[in-house]
Amino acid sequence: MKKIYGSATEALDGLLFDGMFIAAGGFGLCGIPELLLDAIKDAGTKDLTFASNNAGVDDFGIGILLQTRQVKKMISSYVGENAEFMRQYLSGELELEFNPQGTLAERMRAGGCGIPGFYTKTGVGTVIADGKEHKDFNGETYIMEEGIFADLSIVKAWKADETGNLVFRKTARNFNPPAAMCGKVCIAEVEEIVPTGSLDPDHIHLPGIYVHRLIQGEHEKRIEQRTTRAA
C-alpha cells in the first residue's frame, strides 16, 4: 500500500468533500498539521466540522480556515487567542461544542478503538452535562459521552518510517495520537521519513496501522506566547 505522497494536495486527493468531519491534532501552536490545513484552504472545501483541542490563531492552523469561512462547527476545548473565532461565534456564524480537554481526547481515542460511548464524572452538574444521559456507579453520578468517528484525521508528527509508524516530539504527542486514531482515513505530515526498521519499536508512539498517507515537509516553529526579560 502506497503511503508516501509528494505533497499535502496529493495526499488529500479524493478525500475532501463539503460538510465533512475532520479530526485535527495540535496543542496550542504545537503539532499543528499546517501543510494539510493550507491545502484544505486552497481546495475550498466548505461547511467543515473540526474536532480539535483549539482553533489555532488568526493566521495559523484552523484559524486560516475560519478566515475563509470554510468551518461550520468546532468541537474544541480551548478557543482563546483567536479574534476571528470569537467574532464568528458571538455573531452566530459558527457553531461551537465545548468539551473538557480530557473528555475530548478520550472521545477521539474511544472512536479509534471502536467504542461508541463511555461514562465520565467530568462535567457533571455543569452545562456540559445538559441533555446527556446520567448514570450512577457506586453512588457517584456520571455522564455519557460519545466516541468521535471522523471522516478524516490530519496530524503532525516529528518522524515516520515508510510504513507510517510515528514518533511525536514533546507536547505534540498530546492530541495527535488520539486524533489520528479516530478518522476513517489518517494523513500524517512529518519532518522526516526514515527507512522501515530504523525506528526503535519501543519508541514508536503511534503504529502505522492507523496511518494511511504520509507527507514530508518544512514546518514553522512558532512560539505561542513569547516572554522575554531585558538583557
Residue 163 maps to which CATH number? 3.40.1080.10
Residue-wise pLDDT for 71-84, tens only, equals 999 999 987 778 88
Q: What is the pLDDT averaged over residues 118-125?
A: 96
Task: For residue 187, name the pLDDT band (cuts at 50, 70, 90).
Answer: very high
Looking at the predicted structure, is the pLDDT value of residue 64 above 80?
Answer: yes
For residue 143, tell me if it sits in a domain: no
For residue 223, tell me if it sits in a domain: no
H-only helix segments in the chain: 8-12, 34-43, 63-67, 83-90, 101-112, 176-181
Nearest to 34 by CA among 152, 214, 188: 188
Distance of CA 90 to the CA centre of its chain: 23
Report CA torsion sign: 188, 192, 193, 197: negative
Task: For residue 125, name the pLDDT band (cuts at 50, 70, 90).
Answer: very high
Looking at the predicted structure, is the pLDDT value of residue 222 above 80?
Answer: no
Contact 135, 144 (CB under 8 A): yes
pLDDT at residue 219 in the model: 81
How many domains are contained in the chain? 1
74: containing domain: 8-100+150-215
Task: For residue 25, name the pLDDT band (cuts at 50, 70, 90).
Answer: very high
Residue of 219 and 99 predicted with greater confidence: 99
Q: How far from 207 is each of 2, 27, 30, 133, CA to CA, in Å?
A: 16, 21, 21, 34
For residue 181, tell me if it sits in a domain: yes
For residue 19, tell me if it sits in a domain: yes
pLDDT at residue 83 in the model: 84
pLDDT at residue 225 in the model: 73
pLDDT, the chain, mean: 93
**Cα 185 from Cα 15, distance rounded (Å):** 8
Looking at the predicted structure, is the pLDDT value of residue 132 above 90?
Answer: yes
For residue 85, tell me if it sits in a domain: yes
Q: What is the pLDDT averaged over residues 11-36?
A: 94
Q: What is the pLDDT averaged over residues 195-216?
A: 96
SS3 state at 225: coil
pLDDT at residue 29 in the model: 83
For residue 120, tell me if it sits in a domain: no
pLDDT at residue 73 in the model: 96
pLDDT at residue 85 in the model: 86
**E strand or H helix at 150, and its extent?**
strand 150-161
